[in-house]
């Protein structure tokens, strides 16, 4: 079942989401939400989707960066972004530690702000401690584009959107980005 993705301006996107207990995580309700979020993320398509983006103020996000999403990027773009496929996984109640300063800047978009992009500085490397979809502890060390995805989705769980971190003069429509920036 596809879920409605809420857009910027909806108050749920600006609230700190609540944590889930291991028992809640294993519940049929949360397992169903994870399945629906995965389907919604794929349909969008996107590389991450946080529960607040579907109107649920919960510290839960799904992430997957499929190889097929890389097909329109050059080898040079993939290398400069350090972008590699990331298999599907769930992060719940994540705590993030930046292992580098937030000084790597690339354009980002967001499913809750459709049709727009901006340059956002992010840390090149992060460590995330979280629970997985079974409520088991997990530590993720990520770099490059994967680190960017994690930072973006975890921001959603704390009521932040990329526009809070963007270089404001780079804010553009997707159409103008494709026409002017990707040359």
Tell me: pLDDT of 83 over 70.
yes
Q: Does a structural domain hold residue 158?
A: yes
Is residue 6 domain-resident? no
Counting the structural domains of the chain, the total is: 1
How much is the mean pLDDT over the chain? Answer: 96
pTM of model > 0.85? yes
Identify whether 86 is part of a domain.
yes
Q: What is the mean pLDDT of residues 2-20?
A: 98
Task: Tell me, yes or no, whether 62 lies in a domain.
Answer: yes
pLDDT at 58: 98
Summarised one tens digit per residue, pLDDT across range 93-120 is 999 999 999 999 999 999 999 999 999 9
Task: Tell me, yes or no, whether 94 lies in a domain.
Answer: yes
Is residue 2 situated within a structural domain?
no
Residue 178 pLDDT grade (very low, low, confident, very high; cuts 50, 70, 90): confident
Q: What is the CATH number of the domain that holds 124?
A: 3.90.45.10
Tell me the residue range of the domain where 118 lies.
11-181
Secondary structure of the chain in HEC code, one letter for each residue: CCCCCCCCCCHHHHCCCECCCHHHHHCHHHHHHHHHHHHHHHHCCCCEEEHHHHCCCECEEEEEECHHHHCCCCHHHHHHHCCCCEEEEEEEEEEEEECCCCCEEEEECCCCCCCEEEEEEECCEEEEEEECCCCCEEEEEEEHHHHHHHHHHHHHHCCCCHHHCCCHHHCEEHHHHHHHHCC
- Asked if the model's pLDDT at residue 69 lies above 60, the reply is yes
The reported pLDDT for the residue numbered 122 is 98
Active site residues: 153
Q: Let me know if residue 4 belongs to a domain.
A: no
- 5 in a domain, yes or no? no
């Amino acid at each position: 079942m596809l879920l409605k993705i809420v857009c910027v301006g909806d108050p749920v996107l600006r609230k700190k989401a609540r944590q889930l207990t291991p028992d809640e995580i294993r519940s049929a309700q949360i397992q169903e939400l994870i399945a629906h979020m995965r389907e919604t993320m794929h349909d969008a398509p996107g590389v991450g989707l946080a529960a607040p983006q579907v109107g649920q103020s919960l510290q839960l996000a799904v992430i997957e960066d499929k190889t097929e999403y890389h097909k329109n990027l050059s080898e040079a773009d993939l290398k400069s972004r350090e972008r590699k496929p990331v298999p599907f996984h769930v992060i719940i109640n994540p705590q993030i530690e930046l292992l580098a300063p937030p000084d790597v800047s690339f354009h980002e978009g967001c499913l809750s702000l459709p049709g727009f992009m901006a340059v956002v500085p992010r840390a090149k490397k992060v460590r995330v401690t979280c629970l997985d979809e079974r409520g088991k502890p997990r530590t993720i060390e990520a770099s490059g584009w994967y680190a960017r995805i994690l930072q973006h989705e975890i921001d959603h769980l704390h009521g932040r959107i990329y526009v809070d971190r963007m270089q404001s003069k780079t804010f553009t429509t997707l159409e103008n980005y494709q026409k002017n920036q990707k040359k």
